[in-house]
Amino acid sequence: VLRVPVSQGTTYFGPINLVTSEALPTRAFLLVQSENQHQGQQNKNRYKFYPRGISQLLLTVNGEHIPHFDGLKANWGVALGDSSDFEQVYNAIFETLGDNSTISLSKDEFPQGFCVFGFDLTQKGLTSFQSNPMKNPGSLDMSIRFDPVTNKNLIILVVLQYDRKIYIDKNRQIKL
């Protein structure tokens, strides 16, 4: 899990390199918390994740945008009682988890503390990868646009899933 801080007053953040390695993850999940919530402030639930005004979220694998074109876009007006359009973000979590997902999350619940941004980084989610993205060395970058600007310091938690075995030898050396 990577912890990425974003300062109050930010409208655009990135691109920031999340991973550069011989093995790339197959999935990425992003969750957003206020800094106070992340630190465990007594009156804040650490297990609620709100969209926090993210209007565009773009992951780039070896220069290719995920999803294609301009990334995930959303209008979170539903949280403010206005019209909203976050269907793409809502559907992306189910596409990332796959057809066998047993997640039970309604569209109404999603922006009310259960917002998880999901990205499929496998060949199914990418167009130019060869046979297996995990065997290709490369980099994973993230860019985020906020609308409105962030009104507090945020922490973005990035959870990366690898479909590989990890070996740890007696000298605590990690090998994929």
Taking only the tens place, the pLDDT of each residue in 56-98 is: 999 998 888 876 657 788 887 644 445 567 888 888 888 888 8
Percent of the chain clearing pLDDT 90 (strictly above): 28
Q: Considering the entire predicted model, what is its pTM?
A: 0.80
- Residue 157 clears pLDDT 80, i.e. is over it: yes
The predicted pLDDT at position 131 comes to 45
> Tokens 């959870």 belong to which residue?
159
In this structure, are residues 88 and 73 in contact, taking their beta carbons and an 8 Å threshold? yes
User: Exposure of 133 by Cβ count < 10 A (0-12 exposed, 13-18 middle, 19+ buried)?
Assistant: buried
Confidence of residue 29 (pLDDT cuts 50, 70, 90): very high
In this structure, of 24-28, 66-70, 166-170, the range with the lowest mean pLDDT score is 66-70
The predicted pLDDT at position 100 comes to 64
Taking only the tens place, the pLDDT of each residue in 99-149 is: 666 788 888 888 888 899 998 888 665 544 444 544 567 899 999 999 889
Pairwise pLDDT comparison (17 vs 100), residue with the higher score: 17
Tokens of 66: 């995920």
| Of residues 46, 22, 43, the one with CA closest to residue 34 | 46
